[in-house]
Structure 1
Amino acid sequence: MPCPHNEISIVQRSQQQSAVAAAAYQSGEKLFCGYDQEVKHYPEKRGIVHNEILLPANAPRSYADRNTLWNAAEAVEKQWNSQLARRWVLTIPREIPPDQYAALVRDFCNQQFVSKGMCVDFAIHDKGDGNPHAHVMLTMRAMDEHGKWLPKSRKVYDLDENGERIKLPSGRWKSHKEDTVDWNDRKYCEIWRHEWEIIQNRYLEANNRPERVDLRSYERQGLDIIPTVHEGAAVRQMEKRGIQTNIGNLNREIKAANSLMKSIRQLIKNLKGWIIELSEKRKELLAEKAAEEAVFLPNLLMKYMEVRKAERSDWTRAGQNRGTSKDLKAVSEALSYLQRKGLSTVEDLENFIETSGKSAADYRKQMKPKETRSNVIDAILAARTDCKECKPVYEKYQKIFFKKTKEKFKLEHPEVARFEKASAYLAKHPDDKDSTKKELLQEQAKLVDEIADLKVPLTEVQEDLKKLWDIRYWVRKATPGTEESKEPPKKQPLKEVLQDKADEKRAQKNAPAQTKHKQQDMEL
């Protein structure tokens, strides 16, 4: 299935980041940065299969050169905390032919970014490991008709009810800043994600692929699927080395439970359709005054045996015996299963499937809060780690008195934002304030075990439904008018026919001569 991942970030000078360096990384080219007078080159980067620059009509043609474009974008930004570029990482569906990757990304960028006046620099990375993706860089400023960079914002004076400017006690006029373009509006994050989803699906459809991309969360899609927990680089490395982690174990249990529920839902859906069909056939039989017993499941299974026997009429005797023996064993097990479950009529079957569906949903309902709680424990432990690591920097930040100095310090030290975010999360869970790390890990391990225990009855429900799925085929085979009943008889495998004939010849050759004479006399 196509991966819905996409990620948006900002290249910020306050984080010691460089637009030229980002462009060099994604394109694989050697670029010179005029801001810090350094060459940016990442020779170890592999798998770059395409890179391209897209320009709006009013952009200087010289910006088609990557080095010129991003040095110009950096040169116009004078502040120490300037935002230099917007970056996207977009996963490309591997179901689309590789020769269409560039066209897919180009179409998307032209429609959503170039049309609004942004310069676009994109590259496609594909190492052949099943993870093709695109890196897209966008300029942050608009241009005028002559290709000159415009200001990002402008000063707007606030007005009173009479339309007059408002004077502050300091003697200055009250004002605020307004962006000259709305590219930073959060609504575009949702819009662009949705448009990327649409264009991917269009390309999938054009290539006659059944897969579709849906970038909505499981909850917004209305799906009863629990998302896995973010593992992070450290956990991934440990799992890769064969070291099992709590997060890894939890994700394995979540994936297994989701897979089970998906299988169960599909089986129930198909079996319900079969029950409706079987009920209709029953009405037809009764309308024709056929024996009511003919629609009982055991009777239909025995009729299936007769149908299969008739289909093998042209098989070798040994082949007929083997087939009958195999069918007899399978049907006997099915009859025994139906007897154990107390299923003999269509109504019994319908009630059983309904009960199975409710049982599966109930088990899943019990699992959800445990999985959610385990996720919370992971988040609490991560937040505590962030608080511990970032506390010294945050304490320095708190001691700064002047507002501008404080803001600058916060921008230069991402630890401040990490500490604030972690503290806010911990404040939402006061009940866990006094719990030690050991206690939380023990609780999480217990939750993982409980989830695994609940998975056992889910598996049993799935096995029951699989058995009913086999019975469904046999019953349909014995019911006139169904697709299965119209299937042509299966021919005996040629290899089996040859083997049976060889065995017969060998048996005749080894038989006593007297028996052979008797057979000949009987034939006469």
Structure 2
Amino acid sequence: MAIYHLSAKVISRAGGRSSVAAAAYRAAGRLHDDRQGLEHDYSRKGGVIHSEIMVPENAPEWMRDRNQLWNAVEIVEKRRDAQLAREVEVSLPRELDRGQRLKLLRGFIQREFVDRGMIADVAVHEGKARDGFGQPHAHVMLTMREMTGDGFGKKDRSWNAPDLLLGWREAWARDANIALERAGRSERIDHRSLDVQRSEAEQQVECARAGGQEELAFERERKVIELSREPEPKIGPSANAQEKRGIVTERGDAFRATQARNAQREELGRKQLELRLELMERGRAFIASTRERLDRLWDRAGEALSRIKERVMGEVERPQTDTGRSDMDVRRAVVLGREINRPEAQVKDIERDHFSLEKSRDNERRKAVLGGSELDPNTSRNDKGRER
């Protein structure tokens, strides 16, 4: 992960410091302090892979010499508490190679410092970070006085403006991100505070979730977890030197405690996010399987309904007797949901049939008693007498 770091501080004589000694240490060189009469030899110091002095176009040639430059600064500063130089420390993206990092650094220094009239003493270091990977960074010592003719003039107070430092921080993030993009890297750095970055990331999560982009929301939530850490306290050069010699310091303990809390917070956040992802995947799988079962049941119901319709239509088209057609009409009406109109059945006149049967039996009995031909029961009595 690309790391952002850009800090600025003043090297002051009030703290007993010397610009000559500071320049010798950062460049891993050997310089003589004419004012104090001291020799500062750091030529055996390791980790310095590049150093150079960048000057404005109108600067005299002697200012390119490190020993002459900083001894001139010590001479022009008369006060006991004089501000000798400004130091800017910046982390270089480890995702870039050495050539790309140096090109990035030079461009930034030229535009932001040298073009304003400052002289920059640049030293590039490559150490090892606490995570075991490389920790490339640069120390840039800047003069604080404007140039007049062949020497230094008055101090330029505009270079102390807080807004200028904010501009440097933003410009470094912009330049580094452009360099990362040109190198085909996806990593980016941000000069803003953790609180501001986290707030923006949380808003992006909400926007993605509101738009139904759950995958994007979870991806941005990972960024929120990374930013949900507390700032690590600075150890400082003195405590750092003791820590390197194996001496445990209070600042070192505070730094390690903060790192442990941040690691625990990040691990807990990642576990919670993984659990939510797992629950979401299980929910999706359950919905998919349920939908598949419902689809199968729906298909089976449709097939059964089709078979019923085929059977009904087949019986309708088959020739039937009167009784069969009547039953078929009833079934069809039931299937189609229509009213059943049945013809009223013919009711036999039981009393009339019974009367006819009784009358036939009376004729037979009369015939058996009288004998002869059968008399018409409708013949009148007078007619019967005449026949006698």
> Which residue in 2 is equivalent to 1:451?
none
Equivalent residue number for residue 148 of structure 1: 151
Shift of 1:97: 1.2
Instruction: Tell me the CA shift for residue 473 of structure 1.
Output: 7.4
Alpha-carbon shift at residue 241 of structure 1 (Å) = 9.5
Q: CA deviation at 1:112?
A: 0.3
Q: Which residue of 1 aligns with 2:275?
A: 463
Shift in CA distance, 466/248, structure 1 to aligned 2, threshold 3 Å:
farther
Contact 2:74 2:84 in 1 (8 A): yes
User: What pairs up with 1:128-147 in 2 under 5 angstroms?
Assistant: 129-144=133-148, 146-147=149-150
Report the equivalent of 1:327: none
Q: Is the 8 A contact 1:58 1:147 kept in 2?
A: no
1:203 maps to amino acid:
A
Q: For 1:57, what is the secondary structure of its paired residue?
A: coil
Shift of 1:56: 0.5
- Aligned: 1:91 with 2:91: yes
Opposite residue 95 of structure 1, the aligned amino acid is E
C-alpha RMSD of the superposition: 3.3
Structure 1 residues without counterparts, runs of 5 or longer = 153-179, 264-458, 481-524
C-alpha separation in 2, matches of 1:237 and 1:98: 28
Q: Matches of 2:63 and 2:255 in 1, distance apart?
A: 47
Matches within 5 A, 1:322-471: 459=271, 462-469=274-281
In structure 1, C-alpha distance between the alignment counterparts of 2:257 and 2:38, rounded to whole Å = 45
Partner deviation per Cα, 1:105-139 (whole Å, 9 max, x = no partner): 11110000000000011010113641000010000
Tell whether the 8 Å contact from 1:54 to 1:114 is kept in structure 2 after alignment.
yes
How far apart are residue 187 of structure 1 and its match? Answer: 1.3
Conserved in 2, the CA contact under 8 Å of 1:101 and 1:124?
no
* Residues 24 and 31, structure 1, Cα contact 8 Å, conserved in 2: yes
Pick the structure with greater CA Rg: 2
Q: Which amino acid aligns with 2:189?
A: V
Distance 2:116 2:248 in 1: 49
User: Helix, strand or coil for the counterpart of 2:59?
Assistant: coil
Aligned to 1:54: 54
Match of 1:215 among 165, 173, 191: 191
CA distance in 2, matches of 1:241, 1:23: 26
Name structure 2 gaps, 5 residues minimum.
Answer: 202-223, 293-388
CA contact 2:12–2:83 (8 Å) conserved in 1: yes
More strand, by proportion: 2
Q: Retained in 1: the 8 A contact 2:91–2:138?
A: yes
> What is the TM-score when the length of structure 2 is the normalising length?
0.58
Aligned amino acid, residue 265 of structure 2: A
CA distance in 1, matches of 2:47, 2:285: 49
Say yes or no: does 1:257 pair with 2:260.
no
Whole-Å Cα distance in 1 between the matches of residues 254 and 7 of structure 2?
Answer: 26
| Letter matched to residue 466 of structure 1 | E
Distance across 2 between alignment mates of 1:181 and 1:228: 31
Judged with a 3 Å threshold, the aligned counterparts in structure 2 of structure 1 residues 247 and 207 are, in CA distance, closer, same or farther, namely closer
Count how many residue pairs are aligned between Structure 1 and Structure 2: 255
Identify the residue that residue 227 of structure 1 maps to in structure 2: 230
Map of 1:36 onto structure 2: 36
Residue 23 of structure 2 aligns with which residue? Answer: 23
Please say if residues 51 and 124 of structure 1, whose CA atoms lie closer than 8 Å, have aligned partners that are also in contact: yes
Q: Secondary structure at the match of 2:78?
A: coil
Report Cα offsets for 1:481-510 as digits up to 9, x if no partner: xxxxxxxxxxxxxxxxxxxxxxxxxxxxxx
For normalisation by structure 1, the TM-score amounts to 0.44
* In structure 1, C-alpha distance between the alignment counterparts of 2:290 and 2:68, rounded to whole Å: 76
Shift in Å, 1:198? 0.8
